[in-house]
A and B are shown apart, each in its own frame.
Chain A
């Protein structure tokens, strides 16, 4: 069974950092792009960024570019979202998803709360 599991969400102060992880089972990240999507409280889904099969290509939404970095460890079948200089508006549930132009498998999400 194909599964994605996010972890690493926490309460962090503005300006702080956090690293989220996304682990896959049932398929190999070696063969797929992976996307991060977030949903802030009371708002809709927002695409955050993605990474290609070998980690050589990455794209980000403007609001996180320069602060967030996506990386991949194919040996561990995991993808990471390093979030620096966090802002209150980054508070959201963060989902990872397998990306084949569309997002066919999603994790359950991990909650990031940025607050003092």
Chain B
């Protein structure tokens, strides 16, 4: 199984400041079709999870442009350019290049 490792486990950010979450996979997420199947989700308090980024760097419709994803192979990053209060939640990276699909352990974002 592919292991997804996120850092940090938690971060506390002042509104308006940037935030960055790293995700490393134990195997390359590049598929034979040329696509890299790495996704980012957030679960906000008392809500269901929601997708933010698909295939490394594509924002899902409706996701603010302050969210961006980057990376390749086994190393990926989610960046929030200016954190807002509504961004509180737990962020997860997920791989879908092979079964079983696997989540990172999550990164809890708090607001200072």
Contacts and interface: CB of A to CB of B under 8 A. Distances in A.
Given A45-B106, A101-B37, A106 B96 contact: no
A50 B101 CA distance: 9
Contact of A59 (B90, B100, B106): B100
Given A104-B51, A106-B48, A44 B1 contact: no
A102 B1 contact: no
Interface in B48-63: 48-51, 54, 60
B92 interface: yes
Nearest to B108: A44
Number of contact residues on A: which range applies? 20 to 34
Contacts, number: 53
Contacts of B37: 101
A44 B105 contact: yes
Contact of B106 (A44, A47, A97, A104): A44
B102 A44 contact: no
Interface of A: 35, 37, 39, 44-47, 49-50, 59-62, 95, 97, 101-104, 106-109
Given A44-B103, A45-B41, A47-B102, 11 more contacts: A35-B101, A45-B43, A45-B103, A45-B106, A46-B103, A47-B100, A61-B100, A95-B48, A95-B49, A101-B37, A106-B50
Interface of B: 1, 37, 39, 41, 43, 48-51, 54, 60, 90, 92, 94, 96, 99-106
28 contacts: A35-B101, A37-B49, A39-B43, A44-B90, A44-B104, A45-B43, A45-B49, A45-B106, A46-B103, A47-B100, A47-B102, A50-B99, A50-B101, A59-B99, A61-B100, A62-B1, A62-B100, A95-B48, A95-B49, A101-B54, A102-B39, A102-B54, A102-B94, A102-B96, A103-B49, A103-B51, A106-B49, A109-B48
